[in-house]
Amino acid sequence: MPAIAVIGAQWGDEGKGKVVDLVAEKADVVVRFSGGDNAGHTVINRFGKFALHLVPCGIFSPNSVSIIGNGVVINPEVLFQEMDMLAAAGIDTKPGHLLISDRAHVIMPYHVILDDLEEGLRGGKAIGTTKKGIGPVFSDKVARLGIRVGDLLDKGFFEQLRTVLDYKNLLLTRVYGVQPLSLIKIYEDYQKHAARLKPYVCESTAVLDEALKAGKTVMLEGAQGTMLDPDFGTYPYNTSSSPIAGGASLGSGIPPRAIARILGVFKAYCTRVGGGPFPTEIPGEMGEFIRERAQEYGATTGRPRRCGWFDAVAARFSQRVNGFTGMAITRFDILDTLESIKVCTTYKLDGKMVTDFPSSITTLERCEPVYEELPGWQTETCGVRKFSNLPEAAQAYVNRLEELVGCPTNLICVGPERSQTIVKKRLF
């Protein structure tokens, strides 16, 4: 069985936690392929409620293997806290059940400090990062200044750290005027981390190659969302690793042609956290109503999320760059009480209709959404399990989204529990 990628199709926080948890149940191997602890996947299953930041959702299936792939950046302390939390809930986090790529980059103390300082420097143009050190660690990866999990276990680690830290301390003291960091302290702390990480570290591409050759089901677990991609997102208001289907191959070492199914996770409306343009943002009471009803607050930072109507211009672009084979529409029940629901079908720019998502944020900021208004269903859907049992207006909403996005719907989520899911088209 070839691989299936589960991809955030909007600005992140699409409710991927529930979807990846559902799909992971059927997978033999689950790989996280991008991002770091900026992600927060909320999972509710028979073991309880969890906010996972680094550990893949496959961890709940006793017979599957969960891999933190090469495309992920790891803050060891956060990872250990998460492993301890899972172990306390009776979840197996032993080596073998959980594996870590030796190529994954490590978040160092200076990355977290620099994330905060860089945001401060941007002033009113701050990106609104999660301040987890994500931008700085990925910058170091590309600048060839990074420290990888494998490096922590290497006897050359001290020298490597000394070279990098000399440079980082110059930056901290001369550019930002803050205190330098201690080489010995970081070295000793990360030596301890290395000892705990060691049994989990592997050449993950070999594990995945073997699994694919044996016909096992591999799930590639996305983090963040397409509109936060460094290439295709609302640059520079984006994250620093690729959350799209192409990133799933890159961040795991699975060949692109092994990924046969790409499930795009869309919320039934849109949200965005942090700065940057958001054409369908709903101002005032309606936006607040959705935020409160859906409890749209960040799982990682607790920040209130900006709420907006479904943006089909962005969604079509997302479909174009990902090639989704199907959609999962999440948080559908949030719309249950509304009299009517808006969907943005095009943008208007200088009096002209724009159907392509602009690459420039200054252009995007000038775009006005053009809405189509669909009737609401004003009926509770959280108990519905079959598409044909949804109210007619709810079915019409789903069908319209399919037309606009240009792909079929596999799953519709009508509540946070695993069981609160409508399978419109089978995934497996």
| Window 254 to 293, contacts with ligand IMP (CB under 6 A) | 273-274
Q: HEC string of the chain? A: CCEEEEEECCCCCCCHHHHHHHHHCCCCEEEECCCCCCCCEEEEECCEEEEECCCCHHHHCCCCEEEECCCCEECHHHHHHHHHHHHHCCCCCCECCEEEECCCEECCHHHHHHHHHHHHHHHHHCCCCCCCCHHHHHHHHHCCCCCEHHHHCCCCHHHHHHHHHHHHHHHHHHHCCCCCCCHHHHHHHHHHHHHHHHHHEECHHHHHHHHHHCCCCEEEECCCCHHHCCCCCCCCCCCCCCCCHHHHHHCCCCCHHHEEEEEEEEECCEEECCCCCCCCECCHHHHHHHHHHHCCECCCCCCECEEECEEHHHHHHHHHHHCCCEEEEECHHHHCCCCEEEEEEEEEECCEEECCCCCCHHHHHHCEEEEEEEECCCCCCCCCCCHHHCCHHHHHHHHHHHHHHCCCEEEEECCCCCCCEEECCCCC
| Window 26 to 55, contacts with ligand IMP (CB under 6 A) | 38-40
Give the nearest distance from C-beta 418 to ligand IMP in angstroms: 21
Give the tokens for residue 131. 């301040």
Q: Rank residues 265 and 422 by Cβ distance to ligand IMP and give the closer one.
A: 265
Give the nearest distance from C-beta 62 to ligand IMP in angstroms: 27
Q: Verify binding: residue 73, ligand IMP, rule CB under 6 A.
A: no
* Residue 193 among the catalytic residues: no
Q: Rank residues 50 and 397 by Cβ distance to ligand IMP and give the closer one.
A: 50
Q: Verify binding: residue 240, ligand IMP, rule CB under 6 A.
A: yes
Q: Is the dihedral of CA 289, 292, 296, 300 positive or negative?
A: positive
Give the nearest distance from C-beta 409 to ligand IMP in angstroms: 22
Give the nearest distance from C-beta 54 to ligand IMP in angstroms: 12
Q: Verify binding: residue 75, ligand IMP, rule CB under 6 A.
A: no
Question: Using CB under 6 A, which of 5, 29, 59, 134 touches ligand IMP?
Answer: 134
* Residue 111 among the catalytic residues: no
Q: Rank residues 207 and 223 by Cβ distance to ligand IMP and give the closer one.
A: 223
Question: Using CB under 6 A, which of 34, 130, 322, 330 touches ligand IMP?
Answer: 130
Give the nearest distance from C-beta 39 to ligand IMP in angstroms: 4
Which position among 21, 37, 41, 151 bears the catalytic label? 41
Give the tokens for residue 146. 């990074």
Find the part of the chain contacting ligand IMP (CB under 6 A) among 74-82, 223-231, 253-261, 387-395.
223-231
Question: Using CB under 6 A, which of 34, 64, 101, 239 touches ligand IMP?
Answer: 239
Q: Rank residues 12 and 76 by Cβ distance to ligand IMP and give the closer one.
A: 12
Question: Closest residue (Cβ) to ligand IMP?
Answer: 274
Q: How many residues bind ligand IMP (CB under 6 A)?
A: 20
Give the nearest distance from C-beta 230 to ligand IMP in angstroms: 10
Find the part of the chain contacting ligand IMP (CB under 6 A) among 68-76, 121-129, 141-149, 329-337.
121-129
Q: Residues interacting with ligand IMP, by CB under 6 A?
A: 12-13, 38-40, 127-130, 132, 134-135, 223-224, 228, 237, 239-240, 273-274
Give catalytic residue positions: 13, 41
